[in-house]
Structure 1
Amino acid sequence: MSSLRLDGIYTDKMVIPANKNFHISGHAIPKSEVCVEVLNHVYRTVADDMGTWKVRIVLEDKITCDIKITNLAETITLHDVKSGKVILLTGQSNIEFKFRDDSEYQSQIDDLNLNNTYFYNVPQVEYQSDELTLPKDLKTSTWQIANKETLWEMSDIGYWIAKKMHELNPKETIGIIDCYKGGTSISSWVPESVLTSSQELINRFIKPFEKATTNKTQEDYDQEFAEYNALVEKHNVDLAKFQKENPDVSLSDAKDKVGHTPWPPPMTPTSYLRPSGLFHTMIEQVKNYSFNKVVWYQGENDADNPEVYGIMLRGLILSWRELFQDFSIPFLVVQLPGYFDEPENAWPKIRQHQLEASQRINDVHLVSIADTGEKHNIHPTHKRIAGTRIGEILSDQSYSSTPIVYRQQILNDKLVLSVSSVSTLVQKDDAYFLVKQNNQWKKREIRTVGKVIVLDDCHGIEKIRYAYDNYPTCTLFNELGAPVAPFEMEIEKNE
Structure 2
Amino acid sequence: MLRAAAVFSDHMVLQRNKIIRIFGQGVTGREIRVTLGEDRARTLCRQGKWTVCLPEREAQEGLVLEISDGEEKIRFTDVAVGEVWLAGGQSNMELELKDAEGGPALLREGDFPGVRFYYTPKQARPGEDLEEAERSSCWECFGERDAAKWSAVGFFFAVQLARRLQVTVGVIGCNWGGTSASCWMSREALLAREDTRSYVEEYESSEAVQKPEAQQIREYQDYLAYQEAWDKKAAAVYEKDPMMAFDRVQELIGPCRYPGPMNCANFTRPSGLYATMLKRVAPYTLRGFLYYQGESDDHRPQDYYSLLTGLIGQWRQDFGDEKLPFLLVQLPMHRYRHDPDTKSWCIIRESQMRAFHMLRNTGIAVAIDCGQFHEIHPKNKKPVGERLALQALWGVYHLIPEQEAFGPIYRDFLYRDGGMELAFDYAQEGFICRGEKISGFELAGSDGVFAEALASFEGDRVFLRAREVKEPVMARYLWTNYGEVTVYGANGLPMAPFRTHIF
TM-score bracket for the superposition, by shorter chain length: 0.7 to 0.9
CA 1:303–1:399 in 2, change beyond 3 Å: closer, same or farther?
farther
Give the drift of 1:454: 3.1
Once residues 220 and 48 of structure 2 are traced to their aligned partners in structure 1, the CA distance between those partners, rounded to angstroms, is: 42
1:420 partner letter: Y
Give the drift of 1:144: 1.1
Partner of 2:313: 318
* Aligned partner of 2:379 among 378, 381, 385: 381
2:462 partner letter: I
Q: Relative to structure 2, which stretch is displaced further, 158-167 or 325-334?
A: 158-167
Once residues 359 and 447 of structure 1 are traced to their aligned partners in structure 2, the CA distance between those partners, rounded to angstroms, is: 27
Q: Relative to structure 2, which stretch is displaced further, 147-156 or 234-243?
A: 234-243
Partner of 2:54: 57
Q: Relative to structure 2, which stretch is displaced further, 275-284 or 259-268?
A: 259-268
Is structure 2 residue 359 aligned with structure 1 residue 361? yes
Once residues 216 and 35 of structure 2 are traced to their aligned partners in structure 1, the CA distance between those partners, rounded to angstroms, is: 54
Q: Relative to structure 2, which stretch is displaced further, 7-16 or 148-157?
A: 148-157
Once residues 17 and 312 of structure 2 are traced to their aligned partners in structure 1, the CA distance between those partners, rounded to angstroms, is: 23
Once residues 255 and 108 of structure 1 are traced to their aligned partners in structure 2, the CA distance between those partners, rounded to angstroms, is: 35
Once residues 337 and 141 of structure 1 are traced to their aligned partners in structure 2, the CA distance between those partners, rounded to angstroms, is: 32
Once residues 335 and 445 of structure 2 are traced to their aligned partners in structure 1, the CA distance between those partners, rounded to angstroms, is: 26
* Aligned partner of 1:306 among 298, 301, 322: 301
CA 1:256–1:482 in 2, change beyond 3 Å: closer, same or farther?
farther
Is structure 2 residue 461 aligned with structure 1 residue 452? yes
Once residues 393 and 332 of structure 2 are traced to their aligned partners in structure 1, the CA distance between those partners, rounded to angstroms, is: 22
Give the drift of 1:238: 5.4
Is structure 2 residue 288 aligned with structure 1 residue 293? yes
Partner of 1:237: 233
Partner of 2:346: 348
Partner of 2:501: 490
Whether the 8 Å contact between 2:82 and 2:167 is mirrored in structure 1 is: yes
Partner of 1:21: 19
2:431 partner letter: L
* Aligned partner of 1:12 among 10, 24, 34: 10
Kindly report which structure 2 residues correspond to 1:138-217, keeping only aligned pairs within 5 A, or say none: 140-169=136-165, 171-216=166-211
Kindly report which structure 2 residues correspond to 1:420-435, keeping only aligned pairs within 5 A, or say none: 420=426, 423-429=429-435, 430-435=438-443
1:89 partner letter: A
Whether the 8 Å contact between 1:432 and 1:445 is mirrored in structure 2 is: no
1:29 partner letter: V
Once residues 465 and 308 of structure 1 are traced to their aligned partners in structure 2, the CA distance between those partners, rounded to angstroms, is: 21
CA 1:231–1:295 in 2, change beyond 3 Å: closer, same or farther?
closer
Percent sequence identity over aligned pairs? 25
Partner of 2:107: 109
Q: Relative to structure 2, which stretch is displaced further, 254-263 or 36-45?
A: 254-263
Is structure 2 residue 447 aligned with structure 1 residue 443? no
Whether the 8 Å contact between 1:427 and 1:448 is mirrored in structure 2 is: no
Kindly report which structure 2 residues correspond to 1:64-83, keeping only aligned pairs within 5 A, or say none: 64=61, 65-83=63-81
Whether the 8 Å contact between 1:117 and 1:174 is mirrored in structure 2 is: yes
- Give the match's secondary structure for 1:317: helix
Give the drift of 1:402: 3.6
Once residues 155 and 146 of structure 2 are traced to their aligned partners in structure 1, the CA distance between those partners, rounded to angstroms, is: 11
Residues 73-98 of structure 1 show CA distances to partners (whole Å, capped at 9, x for unaligned) of: 32222212111121110111111111
CA 1:173–1:315 in 2, change beyond 3 Å: closer, same or farther?
same
Q: Relative to structure 2, which stretch is displaced further, 79-88 or 175-184?
A: 79-88
Once residues 378 and 15 of structure 2 are traced to their aligned partners in structure 1, the CA distance between those partners, rounded to angstroms, is: 32
2:191 partner letter: T
Residues 253-294 of structure 1 show CA distances to partners (whole Å, capped at 9, x for unaligned) of: 246685596532221123211111111111111112111121
Q: Relative to structure 2, which stretch is displaced further, 35-44 or 235-244?
A: 235-244
1:405 partner letter: I
Once residues 228 and 12 of structure 1 are traced to their aligned partners in structure 2, the CA distance between those partners, rounded to angstroms, is: 34
CA 1:44–1:233 in 2, change beyond 3 Å: closer, same or farther?
closer
CA 1:372–1:255 in 2, change beyond 3 Å: closer, same or farther?
farther
- Give the match's secondary structure for 1:446: strand
Q: Relative to structure 2, which stretch is displaced further, 209-218 or 303-312?
A: 209-218
1:446 partner letter: A
Give the drift of 1:464: 1.9
Give the drift of 1:302: 0.9
* Aligned partner of 1:474 among 485, 489, 492: 485
The two structures, once aligned, show a CA RMSD in angstroms of: 2.9
Give the drift of 1:219: 6.2
CA 1:8–1:447 in 2, change beyond 3 Å: closer, same or farther?
same
Whether the 8 Å contact between 2:217 and 2:264 is mirrored in structure 1 is: no
Once residues 356 and 318 of structure 1 are traced to their aligned partners in structure 2, the CA distance between those partners, rounded to angstroms, is: 15
Give the drift of 1:416: 3.0
Give the drift of 1:115: 2.5
Give the drift of 1:407: 2.2
Q: Give unmatched runs, 5+ long, in structure 2.
A: 251-255
- Give the match's secondary structure for 1:461: coil
Once residues 235 and 120 of structure 1 are traced to their aligned partners in structure 2, the CA distance between those partners, rounded to angstroms, is: 29
Whether the 8 Å contact between 2:326 and 2:361 is mirrored in structure 1 is: yes
Once residues 228 and 288 of structure 1 are traced to their aligned partners in structure 2, the CA distance between those partners, rounded to angstroms, is: 33
Give the drift of 1:491: 8.6
CA 1:436–1:307 in 2, change beyond 3 Å: closer, same or farther?
same
- Give the match's secondary structure for 1:278: helix
Once residues 177 and 426 of structure 1 are traced to their aligned partners in structure 2, the CA distance between those partners, rounded to angstroms, is: 37
Partner of 2:253: none
Task: Give the TM-score of the pair, scaled to structure 1.
Answer: 0.88
- Give the match's secondary structure for 2:196: helix
Whether the 8 Å contact between 1:6 and 1:26 is mirrored in structure 2 is: yes
Once residues 108 and 412 of structure 2 are traced to their aligned partners in structure 1, the CA distance between those partners, rounded to angstroms, is: 49
Residues 342-363 of structure 1 show CA distances to partners (whole Å, capped at 9, x for unaligned) of: 6601111101100100000111
Give the drift of 1:185: 0.9
Give the drift of 1:231: 7.1
Q: Give unmatched runs, 5+ long, in structure 1.
A: none
Partner of 2:425: 419
CA 1:319–1:474 in 2, change beyond 3 Å: closer, same or farther?
same
Task: Give the TM-score of the pair, scaled to structure 2.
Answer: 0.87
- Give the match's secondary structure for 1:285: helix
Whether the 8 Å contact between 2:208 and 2:261 is mirrored in structure 1 is: no
1:438 partner letter: S
Whether the 8 Å contact between 2:234 and 2:249 is mirrored in structure 1 is: no
Q: How many residues align?
A: 480
Once residues 126 and 227 of structure 1 are traced to their aligned partners in structure 2, the CA distance between those partners, rounded to angstroms, is: 15
